[in-house]
Each structure stands twice: as C-alpha cells, then as structure tokens.
Amino acid sequence: MSKKLSSFADLAALTGQAAPSTVSTNESQQDLVYSTDGGRVVTQKHVDTTAIIGDGRVRISRSTKGRGGKTVSVVTGLALTHSDLQKLCKTLKKQLGCGGVVRNGELEFQGDKRDQLLNELTKAGYQAKLSGG
C-alpha cells in the first residue's frame, strides 16, 4: 500500500471512519486560535485563615508612628479570622465610644484607650496585657 493520502477524506476511507465535515468560511473566521482559558478548572472558595497564634497573649500598645502625632491604641495577637476581627472591632468601638479599624490582622482604635481595652478584652475572655510604654 503505497497510496498517498492527500486529505482527511482519504485517511477516513483508509481507516473506515467517517470523514470530518468541512468548515465554512464564516465558521473558520470565528474559530478560536488561542485561549488562556484553563478549561474546566473548578475555583476553590476563599477560606479565611487564622492569624499566627504566637504565645496566645493579646497585647495592647500605644502608637503614634505615621499618624501625624495622633495617638492610637493597637491590639495585636488575636488569633481570629478577618471577619471575626471586624465583628470584635465593631463591638469594641461601641463600648469605647471611639473610631477603629482592622489593619493587617491588628485592631487600631483612635486615642489612648489601653486601660479600657484591657478591661473589655479580659471581660470577653482574652488573656490581654499592656505592652510598651
């Protein structure tokens, strides 16, 4: 069998399978040439990860760095997810009567509220202590 195959139809006839259908000019212009699509890639849901636990102590410190001389109270060492930190921040803001925010896994409250934070966190069951000067 030294017969030359010149098309898919010849190959299909040789193997006994049906020949592939021809593509019209309109379809060939719409054919996908390159795609970065990964196919049937199933994306995983975002899972909140807990912070590094450290020694298990919650530290309350005072900071003025990068704030134009304004004092903030910073709570670090809470091993909670980001959503739980936001919930805790919201309740503490109401109890302290001041503004606050969650940044980089730490709670920041406006003003020197370290003593009040210590009382509220120990009431909530955290092992908190004052840190820094």
* Domain boundaries along the sequence of the chain: 58-130
CATH number 3.30.780.10 given to 58-130: yes
- The model's pTM is 0.59
Q: Edge-to-edge strand order for the sheet containing 100-103?
A: 100-103, 106-110, 72-76, 58-63, 128-130
pLDDT of residue 72: 94
**Model pLDDT, residue 6:** 66
Per-residue CA distances from 113 to 48, 73, 88, 89 (Å): 29, 6, 15, 13
Query: Please, are residues 128 and 119 in contact by the beta-carbon 8 Å criterion?
Result: no
Residue 99 — pLDDT band, cuts 50, 70, 90?
very high
Evaluate the CA torsion angle 64, 66, 72, 73 in order and state its sign.
negative
3-class DSSP state of 63: strand
Burial class (CB in 10 A: 0-12, 13-18, 19+), 63: middle
* Cα Dmax for the chain: 95
Q: How far apart are CA 20 and CA 26, in angstroms?
A: 17
Greater confidence (16 vs 59) lies with 59
**Residue-wise pLDDT tens digits, 16-55:** 666 555 545 555 556 767 667 667 766 777 655 554 556 7
**DSSP string computed for 1-58:** --PPP-SHHHHHHHHTPPPPPPPPHHHHHHS-------SSPPPPPP---PPP-TTS-E
**Average predicted confidence (pLDDT) for the chain:** 79
